[in-house]
Amino acid sequence: MLLPRNGAEFKKWIVGSSKDVAGGYVPPGSPGTQGWIVIDTASSIGPGRTLLDNRAWLEHDIRHEFFHANTLPESDSAGNAPLWVTEGYAEWAGSTAIVVFPQTAPPPTLPVTNSEFAKVRATDAYAQSFMFVSYLVARFGQAAAIRFYKRSLEPAYGSTAASFAHVFKHDLASVEKGWSRQYKKQVAALDVDVYVK
């Protein structure tokens, strides 16, 4: 894991890999070579404050990136899985210490396709995916949620929607509707002050 001294060093070390809001995972370049994690320690978390000024937030980001590193296939591709799956699960795993949530509640919709994911504010896309994955864990149990995650990474199982229906016995659209209904309650329960102070 690399902790760069400044933003320029972060850019250099992320080597063209896709970056998260405050970090990134660089997968192995070829089989047998090691991948690494870079945390964007200089990224701003408020006026005059960087990620290094908030230990819980820093630990959240480290957990998020380790989850990618430990679960994604040995290539920059997430196999079959769309971003809401790979980022939502990484946020869920990272959130033992802290929930990183935008100051303005994002709309109660899931960015199902990667183009939808890219269209909304980055912090919203991560939060929406996190909320939905947390809902899956609460409704179907952690074992089933993990089963779906692993299956969705593997192209041999077909589309994400097919894996979803296979594991959860409900289609994605109907489960998303159920989540949307609970969304307001979930947002109200989050203590956003934990990280905006």
Beta pairing class for 49-50 and 44-46: antiparallel
Q: Which residue is nearest to Zn ion (CB)?
A: 20
For 23, the token pair is 């970090």
Q: Which is nearer to Zn ion, 60 or 151 (CB)?
A: 60
Write down the least CB distance from residue 102 to Zn ion, Å: 16
Compute how many other C-beta atoms are within 10 angstroms of the C-beta atom of residue 137: 16
In the complex, minimum distance from the CB of residue 68 to Zn ion, in angstroms, rounded to a whole number: 5
What CA–CA distances, in Å, run from 181 to 92, 136, 178, 189? 20, 14, 5, 14
Q: Least distance from C-beta 49 to Zn ion, angstroms?
A: 22
Residue 53 main-chain phi, psi, to 5 deg: -85, -5
Residue with smaller CB distance to Zn ion, 17 or 182: 17
Q: By C-beta, is 87 or 176 nearer to Zn ion?
A: 87
Contacts with Zn ion by CB under 5 A lie at 20, 87, 90
Q: Which residue has the tokens 């109660």?
A: 108
Nearer to Zn ion by Cβ, of 146 and 165: the residue is: 146
The minimum distance between CB 87 and Zn ion, in angstroms, equals 5
